Structure 1
Amino acid sequence: MTFTLLVNGSVYGTQSARNAYLFASRVIAKGHTLRSVFFYQDGVQNGSALTAPANDEFDLVAAWQRLAAEHNVRLETCVAAALRRGVLSPAEAEQHQLPASNLAAPFEQTGLGSLAEALLAQDRVVQF
């Protein structure tokens, strides 16, 4: 089966993003394909390159990055939600004449159309 995950929870402060990551890991371990993870609402904060958890804490942003690199998973943040929360790609920072960007690689900013495509194309879309 093919999956897309929709993550609405912040990188820290709630359990939903961590649960999504654990679910993603199990989906892959069971032999299914995880095509993409779409981060929406406060979930876009999972794409910030400016998180710095303590040494004894789980680094969820780095975990998402490893998952994407090892399993060819697209990490997409909703561009509108990200802009409202200060998570910007270099292109968005330039377009809005802001001094810096902070979107972690390989996260990319996309629109809700990307999520709509996933809803039509994947066998399952699971929301956290």
Structure 2
Amino acid sequence: MSQLTYSLVVNGPVYGSQSARSAYQFAQAVIEKGHVIKSVFFYQDGVTNGTALSVPANDEFNLTKAWQSMAQQHDIRLETCVAAALRRGILSEDEANQHGLAQHNLAAGFEQAGLGSLAEAMLTQDRVVQF
């Protein structure tokens, strides 16, 4: 079987629905089968996966840290839609500076990107899977 490249689109929030966790589990399975995840694009409420301020209970799975670890181990781009993130109060340092805000809260390893990045993934990856 030949190696396929994937990009994922996550629309569900970090907590409160199964969408983001399912995407993470799918990504694990894809990697275990020898395929490559190139990027994960967090869109709509999915951008909450990229907040540095989420603190789950000690007995809960920390999905943000799991994404960060997977991305670091497998060279995966974690991209939050910049427009959706700004609407939900999730800002990179650059965006905070641009909008005159003193704080930023985009988690390490995540970057903010436009829909052009998602369009590029759709054109260049073998598979794009939405959650």
Q: Fold-level match, TM-score > 0.5? A: yes
1:120 corresponds to: 123
Deviations 1:89-111 (A, max 9, x none): 00000000112000001100000
Q: Which runs of 5+ in 1 are unaligned?
A: none
TM value normalised by structure 2: 0.97
**Superposed, which structure 2 residues align to 1:1-128 within 5 Å?**
1-128=4-131
Q: Give the 3-state SS of the residue equivalent to 1:4 in structure 2.
A: strand
Give the ranges of 4+ consecutive aligned residues of structure 1 lying more than 3 Å apart after TM superposition: none
Aligned-pair identity in percent equals: 70
Q: Distance in 1 between matches of 2:28 and 2:91?
A: 27
Q: Distance in 2 between matches of 1:39 and 1:105?
A: 15
What is the CA RMSD across the aligned residues, in angstroms? 0.3
Residue type of the partner of 1:9?
G
Q: Distance in 2 between matches of 1:99 and 1:11?
A: 24
Q: Give the 3-state SS of the residue equivalent to 1:35 in structure 2.
A: strand
Aligned residues: 128
